[in-house]
A and B are shown apart, each in its own frame.
Chain A
Amino acid sequence: MGKGQRATQVYKSTEFIEQRRDEDGLVVGSDPFKLAPSSSASLLETEKALKTGDTAAVAEAGAAEPAAAAASADTAKHGGEHTSELDTVPTFILVTTYLSYLMLIVFAHLRDFFGKLRHPEEYVQLREQNGWAPMVSDFESLWTRRLYGRIRDCFNRPITGVAGGHVNLLERVSHDFNKSFEFTGRVRNVLNLASYNYLGFAQSEGPCADKVEAAMREHGLTQASTRAEAGCSQLLVETEEMVARFVGTEAALIVSMGYATNALNIPALVGRGCLILSDELNHSSLVSGARLSGASIRVFRHNDVASLEAELRRSITQGQPRTHRPWKKILVVVEGLYSMEGEFCRLPEIVALRRRYGFYLFVDEAHSIGALGKRGRGVCDHFGVNPQEVDVLMGTFTKSFGAAGGYIAGSRALVSHLRLKSHSAVYAEAMSVPVLAQVSSSMRMIMGEDREHALEGQQRLDQLAVNARYFARRLAEMGFMTMGDAGSPVVPLLLFSPAKIPAFSRECLKRNVAVVVVSYPATPIITGRVRFCISASHTRADLDYALEQVSEIGDLLMLKFHKGDASAKRVAELEGGGRIKTE
């Protein structure tokens, strides 16, 4: 924490923090980081905050969040929040949700049955024909054709330009029940609560974009080779060093795609005779990586440290199946911030287990790096855990940094090994120059190393924290059932019923708000949800507008399940997670 305190002091010594402290923290006016002015002083002039009593605590918490203290104080509380939230679901909702799905499936089969009778030609490709098996089988595609098909307009909505605080959506209509879409030619500017633009670095102007352009002029565009062959540039080496410094490890390896960072690197770490213990809600890329590695895979209950410990004790003592040979290595794979749940992994407890049981710990910080912690260094920073205590720190640049690809950081031995043996380094294309430049320029800004914009990075971090807390708290106050920990930039709101899922998305779009809705198979069947991604580039007006609309839609769709006490309890929970006694 020594470094962190120093950074805070530098930050506090400026006038900016004085100004911020007695104000709300939410920004009024346009996107605070859009068309970033040449100096941070003039950037400050663009924001004017409101002073209201009810958000003072939020602002306070956001402006100075001593991560470690908060973490150790409330980690115990975090556990089981996910399940306890679900325990309070009214039975009526549970029953109707299951019934709705049942109805959908029955109707899907009925429609298929009559469809096959009336238009057999449309179903030809689903059957075996003349010795050719169908490419997609009838049963497999039922979900896609009959359930997903109904709500296809809520996904893959094309955009143009930058996915910033607002985004330009290409308007489309369907005349054949979502089988095909037609573009109207109109472009709609909507409020973006969907993109992972946590720190607002998705920009086409400003200091980062300027640096990207300069880098392209100097280094060209791409490498057309792999990192291990002829695709390693000086720029790549320097950026890797910077990433390592940022994360707090000895070294780092950069991979040109986020999914590949997991899928192609885990096989270089574990193999046959090794065991992977994986959280049940881990991302698909981690699952692919685990499968490709050839190691045995066991799953423990989401964020349940007791379940992990029980599994560890069983695995270590029983050894491999049948032979009882001891496992060569055990790799525990968790995510820093679960992007569908908005929950942090319980890192301090897992690290304590690591010390006791001697497994290796792999933390996927795809969503948490840059978005969590006082200094934006991810979940370790948030909980005040020394990054050395995590063996493999993985993260992506797609989210907070407005770039693409990912990294693996850890000890020098680990990274050297990966440079030689990781499938991504040896076989996959090296990262392109503009992406590298975006990573390094945004990261430099977050670290406060960009002299011309020394404060902007910290300001973005604070802004995100304030925005996220404000949004989550207001939703809870309104009586919505939300998930996730306090301070998470991802705020999921439970919708349950499959009919409400597309309805919510369409209503939001009607009101010029872009949101992401997710349901089975991305979530458990019962907990369909809408997921808001909060960004530092949202202003107070943006968030208030969104909250107002969401509240109206909530009334319309009868989503405010929490009444009185339950709502107050949730608000207290969210506040408790972040309430900090400052100075």
Chain B
Amino acid sequence: MDSQPTPGEPAGNEPSRGLLRTAWDFSFRMVLRYIKNSYKDDPFRTFLEVCLIAFIIWYITKQKYNIGNNEIVLSEKEIDELVEEWNPEPLVPELTAFERETLEKAIVIDGPNGTKVRLASGSNTKPLINFASYNFLGFLDNPQIEEHAYETLRKYGVGSCGPPGFYGTLDVHMELEKQVAAFVGHSSAILYSQAFTTTLSVIPCFSKRGDIIVADEGVNFSIQQAVMLSRSKVHWYKHNDMADLERVLNEVNVQLANRRGKKALPRKFIVTEGLFQNTGDIAPLDELVDLKHRYKFRIILDESYSFGVLGKRGAGLTDHYSINPHEVDLLIGALCYAIGASGGFCCADKELVEHQRLSGLGYCFSASMPGILTVAASDAIQILEANPDNYLVSMRENAVLLRSLLKRIPGLQVEGDNDSPLIHIRLTPETLVRMKRSGGAWTNTDIDRVLIELTEEVQKDGVLLTPSRYVDEHERLLPNSSIRICVSSAHTRKEIEKCAHAVKSAVSRITSKKR
């Protein structure tokens, strides 16, 4: 490698002809003299330079190695044979016995969904008290909203037949947007036609490749998907652990401070949920806002389950903590759960909302919400605004009562914040160990099976519950299996007691069975 000659060395000196030749000779001699001198001063340096030049020549001329292109060249016949041999997996795997069972036992409701429901399947034809739907405020069976829906149908029909950009924006959409923004106390709002897709659209709309997201580990699946779709750099912090969050924020900021050159500052977001769907916990917004300012991270808050539920007015987490809603930069909410209509919304500053009208995928590329459901949402918010105590006080009393009753049941673990009407229950690990005859380990499927059995048992006592469902293999951290109980303001004290009693007797029946 080092035997390469210095370029241009063996040239002989001939008498010059013409100006060009003179110039060439002159410069060549200069270079030669320079090399001679430098060799005399520092032979080691010349040696290094020669090596370097040799290396460059070798590097340029060597065979290119391309990561993306390591294709094998095949003849047509070989290709045909390989195509013939290729044996793809089936499109969908065969269902396991447990999955088949789950499908068979799925809840199918006959008639309207509401505080009381009738099941289409099974032997049980009596109406059941519904603790499975997110009907926190009882708006599912509100006659006033229904009556108005019939009227709306006669004006707006059902579908809007187009995305909002192409003549799909109705006057009632704009009114509801204003109403929601005013109710939350933010500047502006935008409607999406499905709650899950709202989060999925909003986060990638602002957080792009190269941006930074710090997210709670316990967030719902929609947020998990949204941060994935955004292609941003995601850091996770321990569920509702503000000390851990601060550690991560600090780390990120230190890394950014050390970033090279004058690279633009990326956008930084804290992403969390108001009322956690998977645990029933409430996020400490006051501390989050404090951290936001100290570390200069914007907050994206998913209030899908807390909108209409938390706070004195039911306006969500900001209301609950009496914090100025503008502190939350992007506030996402759902209108399909507590409000009992459909779709979701995002509250933000006016410019950010306008930006979503062009860049929010779920807004731009799907039909707008049907007029009937828009008006239903509007009515529900109006009713709640007019008389919040009527709904919220009884809902909270019911939640506190049920929680305290459930906590008294031996062998049962009750999860979630005290104020939250979303209660997750599961059997304690000790109980599970006691139930296993051979002392073997419990698989997730075993636990799920027990929980389904438990819901079937309570159905016999006239109570409808559902295990919380997940797509296990797609969840980032699969939450422990549980049964989710949604308390409603429409439940009576007697119904709450009946639920607790049903759970109690079901638990004792289930746990006494060895398996």
By the criterion CB–CB under 8 Å, are A196 and B162 in contact? yes
Question: Chain B contacts of A284 at CB under 8 A?
Answer: 361, 364-365
The yes or no answer to B111 lying at the interface (CB within 8 A) is: yes
Give the distance in Å from the alpha carbon of A314 to the alpha carbon of B86 in the complex: 12
Q: Is A158 an interface residue (CB 8 A)?
A: yes
B441 close to chain A: CB less than 8 A: no
Query: Is B48 an interface residue, CB under 8 A from the partner?
Result: no
Chain A min CB distance to B124 (Å)? 14
Which of chain B's residues 155-203 have a Cβ closer than 8 Å to chain A? 155-162, 164-171, 173-174, 193-197, 200
Asked if B62 CB lies within 8 Å of chain A CBs, one says no
Check B161 against A426 for contact (C-beta < 8 Å).
no
Contact with B along A125-139 (1 / 0, CB 8 A): 100101111111100
B373–A426 CB distance below 8 A: no
Determine whether the beta carbon of B469 is less than 8 Å from that of A229.
yes
CB distance from B117 to the nearest CB of A (A): 8
A56 to B265, CA, bound (A): 66
A155-B162 Cα distance, complex, nearest whole Å:
12
Q: Is B267 an interface residue (CB 8 A)?
A: yes
> How many B residues, CB 8 Å from partner?
118
The chain B residue with its CB closest to the CB of A437 is: B158
Is the beta-carbon distance between A427 and B222 smaller than 8 angstroms? yes
A322 in contact with B67 (CB, 8 Å): yes
Query: A12 in the interface, Cβ–Cβ < 8 Å?
Result: no
| Residue B316, interface by CB 8 Å | no
A307-336 CB mask vs B (1 if < 8 Å, else 0) is: 000001110111001101011111000000
A413 and B265 contacting across the interface, CB-CB below 8 Å:
no
Q: Are B133 and A231 in contact, CB atoms less than 8 angstroms apart?
A: yes
Q: Once the chains bind, are A133 and B103 in contact (CB under 8 Å)?
A: no
A233-B110, A267-B474, A416-B103 in contact; A434/B370 too (CB < 8 A)?
yes
Task: Enumerate chain B residues within 8 angstroms of A416, measured Cβ to Cβ.
Answer: 95, 99-100, 103
A144-161 interface mask toward B, CB cutoff 8 Å, 1 = contact, 0 = none?
A: 100010000001111111
For B25-37 the 0/1 string (1 means CB < 8 A from A) is 0000000000000
- Say yes or no: B159 contacts A401, CB within 8 Å: yes
Contacts known (A194-B166, A225-B132, A428-B195); A434 close to B92, Cβ less than 8 A: no
Q: With an 8 A cutoff between CB atoms, is B58 at the interface?
A: no
Q: Mark A190-209, 1 if CB is under 8 A from B, else 0.
A: 00101111000111110011
B79 touches A417 (CB 8 A): no
B466 near A404 with CB under 8 A, answer no
Kindly state whether residue A40 has any CB partner on chain B within 8 Å. no
Question: Which residues of chain A are near B197, meaning CB under 8 Å?
Answer: 257, 259-260, 263-264, 428
Decide if B221 is an interface residue (CB 8 Å cutoff): yes
Taking a contact as CB atoms under 8 Å apart, the answer to whether A427 and B169 are in contact is no
User: How far apart are A546's CB and chain B's nearest CB, in angstroms?
Assistant: 15
Q: Which residues of A contact B166 (CB under 8 A)?
A: 155, 194-195, 516
| B221 → chain A closest CB, angstroms | 5
Contacts of A543 in B (CB 8 A): none
**Are A397 and B133 also in contact (CB < 8 A) when A213-B150, A233-B113, A427-B196 are?**
no
A230 with B156: CB separation less than 8 A: no
Q: Which A residue sits closest to B91, measured CB to CB?
A: A360
Q: Does B94 reach chain A (CB closer than 8 Å)?
A: yes
Q: Considering the chains assembled together, what is the distance between the CA atoms of A137 and B87 in angstroms?
A: 47
Smallest distance from the beta carbon of B387 to chain A beta carbons, Å?
20
Q: Cβ of B6 < 8 Å from any Cβ of A? A: no
- Note all chain A residues with C-beta closer than 8 A to B296: 130-132
Q: Looking at chain A, what size class is its interface with the partner chain?
A: 35 or more
The 8 Å CB contact of B336, one of A212, A222, A233, A437, is: A222
Task: Identify the interface centre among B92, B222, B334: most chain A CB within 10 Å of its CB.
Answer: B92
User: Are B365 and A259 interface neighbours, CB within 8 A?
Assistant: yes
Determine if B153 is an interface residue (Cβ-Cβ < 8 Å).
Answer: yes
**A195–B196 CB distance below 8 A:** no
CB neighbours of A540 from chain B (8 A)? none
Q: How far is the CA of A237 from the CA of B370 in the complex (A)?
A: 21
B378 CB, min distance to chain A CBs, angstroms: 13
Interface check B468, CB cutoff 8 A? yes
Cα(A285)–Cα(B71), bound, Å: 31
Residue ID in chain A nearest B174 by CB atoms: A158
Q: Is the CB of B266 within 8 A of A133?
A: yes
The answer to whether residues A221 and B149 also contact, given A170-B171, A398-B159 and a CB cut-off of 8 A, is yes
Q: Which of B72, B94, B109, B206 has the most CB of A within 10 A?
A: B109
Q: What is the chain A residue whose CB lies nearest that of B131?
A: A230
Question: Counting CB contacts under 8 A, is A503 at the interface?
Answer: no
A316 to B366, CA, bound (A): 34
Known contacts: A209-B154, A426-B471. The answer to whether A222 contacts B194 by CB under 8 A is no
A359 interface hit (Cβ, 8 Å): yes
User: If A224-B140, A230-B464 touch, does A159 touch B167 (CB 8 Å cutoff)?
Assistant: yes
B347 interface hit (Cβ, 8 Å): no
The answer, yes or no, to whether B228 is at the interface (CB within 8 Å) is yes
Tell whether, in the assembled complex, residue B114 and residue A220 are in contact, meaning their CB atoms are under 8 Å apart. yes
B423 within 8 Å of A (CB atoms): no
CA distance in complex: A35, B373 (Å) = 23
Q: Please give the distance in Å from A254's CB to the nearest CB on chain B.
A: 13
Given contacts A220-B113, A318-B72, contact A417 B93 (CB under 8 A): yes
Would you call B170 and A216 a contact (CB within 8 A)? no
Can you give 8 contacting A-B residue pairs, CB < 8 Å? Answer: A137-B264, A221-B140, A221-B376, A225-B466, A358-B86, A404-B160, A416-B103, A420-B99
New A-B contacts (8) at CB < 8 Å, excluding given A133-B268, A222-B373, A285-B365: A144-B355, A162-B156, A195-B168, A259-B361, A398-B162, A403-B159, A435-B158, A438-B158
